[in-house]
Structure 1
Amino acid sequence: MTTAGQLPSNVKHIGSFEGEELHEVTLEAASGAHARVLSWGATLRDLMVPGPDGALHHGALGFSDLDSYIANPSYLGATCGRVANRIGGGRFSLDGREYALARNERGVTHLHGGARGFSHRPWKIAAVDADTVTFTRIAPDGEEGYPGNLDLSCTYRLLSPGSLRVEMEARSDATTPVNLAHHSYFTLDPGHSSHELTVEIPARSYTALDALKVPTGEIAPVEGTGYDLRTPRRLGDSGITYDINFVLDQPLGELRFAARVACPRNGRTLEVWTTEPGLQLYDASMLAETDKGLDGLTHGKHAGICLEAQNCPDAVNHPGFPSPWLRPGEIYRQVTEYRFA
């Protein structure tokens, strides 16, 4: 994978960053669905899936240029970690030692792995075929303040007729927190607001937040709130914005239904199935405006919807949340499927 002449036919060199070559991999399913994935940030760039009319449609937002991915302040399509979502105060304690992390959100909160988390670093292509690619990287001890050398892999599989399966694994030589998340902004109706979508999430509770969007430690019931999506609900009808983690009720480690999104205008749907204990719903209320979308698409606020399968945010500081700790000899595993009907 070092020179253009050695690249498989579905891999192309797209540039470099700090001496590291960057590549784009095109995946194709038997149904004709196809995806483009970048080694920068193990990032989904484009996803074309069949709709009810039989034609292929964009399923996720993407940028037309590499520079936008190098910057990528909104984490479009990226793999987030070492710990995705927020860590209050950018601090946690482990075995009697306090660790200080980058406070890259408003100078007070650690977000999505820090100033240069996994989303903003090059990964290596370890294996590739027509419909699958595996990226790997080693995050060294001390990167962004975290302990332990972390051996990572992220695999994208494109399944017929239009499903994207994301598999993540990690191993460490020292106890460390790990919480990876895929951060695509999915779209069922490009050019229209995420608040026009109908969403169902079968969760009875959510992680209550403080003013900085950091969990307080309370697992609060959704009943009687705008977060009650146990029956399908149009997002715009609640009168609130969404950037919240739902606590899923099913057994951990089993692939199970976590969310369903539908577009009443065109009949397109998306289901999320995951092994994770939480699902962050973000309605892109802060997505930066850009005119560099794919195929000339301009997108910004509410242009997509994020469904980030993950552990509960700030679990490093809340013993009552599912454990975020990965110890030597253990394997962190996550499987999430995004199934377009």
Structure 2
Amino acid sequence: MKVLLPFLLLCLASCGSPEPAAAPPDTHTADDGGLTVTEAPYGTTEDGAVTEYTLENEQGLRVSIINYGGIITSIYAPDREGRLDDVVLGFDSLAGYEGEHPYFGALIGRYGNRIAGGKFTLDGATYQLPTNNGPNSLHGGDVGFDHKWWRGRPLREENRVGVELTGRSPDGEMGYPGNLDVTVRYWLDNDNALTLEYEATTDRATPVNLTNHTYFNLQGAGKGDILDHEIRIHAERFTPVDESLIPLGELREVAGTPFDFRQSTAIGERIDAEDEQLGAGGGYDHNFVLDGEGNGLRPAATVYDPESGRTLEVATTEPGVQFYTGNFLNGSVVGKGGKAYAYRTGFCLETQHFPDSPNQEDFPSTILRPGDTYRSTTVYTFGTR
């Protein structure tokens, strides 16, 4: 068995501005035009101290990220009455994220989604990855980016604040070729937009498909299922899958199927329809092929919760988005405030290149080569109506 190399780290962390006198030890706060970034201890792993970075804007929207797993631990968003609720699933402490969990809030890599048989061939060489999801490799393998320690530092620009995480995935880790240097930036502005910027470079050709796996519930984490949420997905096609959720290679029209979300529709309206694809995923767990072309931001999805009035709009430079409806949540995971996360109590919108692209010649390529830079941007904008 290949011995995994330790996760190497890049870049020295910066401390930013001096601590305010009222702040407790080891806590740092900076304010920039109604936008604040706060650092506070969140525990320690064998690789280093974990810090929680909290970004807040003048509307009170508050996002927290830890440098373990690049995890978004909370997003407090106002409802139509101005009341704040945490709208993402997760845990109250580091211990929960260190254990096994369904990727709550996590940075996903090297390859988001599934690779068939945990195997691909690149430039004449065949690479074997861990098969951690039935016969397939999922979200980077047994120890993906979601369980890595990243070096973090706060960021400030004129109209936004953020945090930058950097690290290296060494050659051979989880079977992938090449040393991959990764930078991820999380930004918050006063328009209630949370922007995720991904960059990566490599010294050998390798597949790369980075994403974030936050589970949203716009009523509030642990406050019931998400079946009454209404969603619109800007996609005329999706990629149907086999029984192990590997794409068949087809781009199928959504028209006339339960996958037609071109008009806003309740998530639960057709989720239990008699349909082979819904049966394969136990509900929605499929990649949608986003409308539009080019490398710029394109609309991906809009979600509305009639109960709270909260909305979430997603835009991305990626060609696809995985819409997942928490079909494998079963109440066995106890999260924030001691609440068990039951069936379909969260949804994910994972912006991405398509699943199994290294084995699908007709899908957009996910191969990054030396001298090139992987770049991807996704924007989550919160609102009410």
| TM-score using structure 1 length | 0.95
Q: CA offset at residue 73 of structure 1?
A: 2.4
Q: Could you say if the C-alpha distance between residues 249 and 311 of structure 1 is closer, same or farther in structure 2, counting changes exceeding 3 Å?
A: same
Aligned with residue 323 of structure 1, among 355, 365, 368: 365
**Deviation string, structure 1 residues 70-110 (Cα, Å, up to 9, x no partner):** 1242000001010000000000000111000010112x110
Question: Which residue in the other structure is 1:221 paired with?
Answer: 253
User: Which residue does the alignment assign to 1:8?
Assistant: 28
Q: Which residue of 2 aligns with 1:312?
A: 354
Structure 1 distance, partners of 2:86, 2:52, is: 17
Partner of 2:74: helix, strand, or coil? strand
Instruction: Give the aligned partner of residue 210 of structure 1.
Output: 242
State the match for 2:291 in structure 1: 249
Matches within 5 A, 1:34-183: 34-106=62-134, 108-129=135-156, 131-183=161-213
Mapped partners of 1:167, 1:262: distance in 2: 25
Q: C-alpha distance in 1, partners of 2:219/2:102?
A: 20
Correspondent of 1:23 among 27, 46, 51: 51
329-338 or 289-298, which deviates more: 289-298
Partner of 2:7: none
CA contact (8 A) 1:252 1:276 kept: no
1:230 corresponding residue in structure 2: 262
Please list every run of 5 or more consecutive structure 2 residues that lacks an aligned counterpart in the other structure: 1-12, 16-23, 30-37, 273-277
The answer to whether the Cα contact below 8 Å between 2:109 and 2:140 also exists between their aligned partners in 1 is: yes
Could you tell me how far 1:288 is from its partner in structure 2? 4.8
Give the direction of change, closer, same or farther, for the CA distance of 1:2–1:327 in structure 2 (3 Å limit). closer
- Determine the structure 2 residue equivalent to 1:274: 316
Structure 1 residues 53 and 128 mapped into 2: Cα distance closer, same or farther (>3 Å)?
A: same
SS across alignment from 1:22: strand
Q: Secondary structure at the match of 2:269?
A: helix
Alignment check: 8 A CA contact 2:53 2:154 kept = no
Q: Secondary structure at the match of 2:55?
A: strand
Q: Would the alpha carbon gap of residues 2 and 171 (structure 1) be closer, same or farther in structure 2, given more than 3 Å must change? A: closer
* Matched position secondary structure for 1:196: coil
Q: Secondary structure at the match of 1:316?
A: helix
The 1:290/1:278 distance shift into structure 2, 3 A limit, reads same
Q: Distance in 2 between matches of 1:336 and 1:290?
A: 31
The two structures have a TM-score, normalised by structure 2, of 0.84
Q: Mind listing any 5+ residue stretches in structure 1 that lack a counterpart? A: none
Instruction: Name which of 209, 216, 231 aligns with 1:186.
Output: 216
* SS of equivalent residue, structure 1 residue 89: helix
Q: Which moved more, 1:127-136 or 1:67-76?
A: 127-136
SS of alignment partner, residue 251 of structure 2: strand
Distance in 2 of aligned mates of 1:29 and 1:72: 32
CA-CA distance at 1:229 after TM superposition: 0.6
Match of 2:382 in 1: 340
Cα offsets for 1:246-266 (capped at 9, x unmatched): 001211321121101111223
Change (3 A) 1:294 1:261: same
Once residues 291 and 177 of structure 1 are traced to their aligned partners in structure 2, the CA distance between those partners, rounded to angstroms, is 31
Q: Which residue identity lines up with residue 312 of structure 2 in the other structure? A: L
* Cα RMSD, aligned residues only: 1.9
Q: Partners of 2:297 and 2:94 in 1: how far apart?
A: 33
Q: CA deviation at 1:55?
A: 2.0
Displacement, 1:294?
A: 2.7
Shifted more, 33-42 versus 7-16: the winner is: 7-16
- Give the whole-Å Cα distance in 2 for the aligned partners of 1:109 and 1:288: 22
Q: Percent of counterpart pairs with the same letter?
A: 39
Contact kept? 1:14, 1:24, Cα under 8 Å: yes
Structure-to-structure mapping, 1:280-291, within 5 angstroms? 280-289=322-331
Q: Distance in 2 between matches of 1:6 and 1:68?
A: 23
In structure 2, relative to structure 1, the CA distance for the partners of 1:231 and 1:48 (3 Å cut) is same
Structure 1 contact 30–161 (Cα < 8 Å) conserved: no
In the alignment, the residues of structure 2 paired with residue 91 and residue 306 of structure 1 have an alpha-carbon distance, to the nearest angstrom, of 26
The CA deviation at 1:5 is: 6.0
Give the superposition deviation at 1:286: 0.6
- The whole-number CA distance in structure 2 between the counterparts of 1:216 and 1:201 is 21
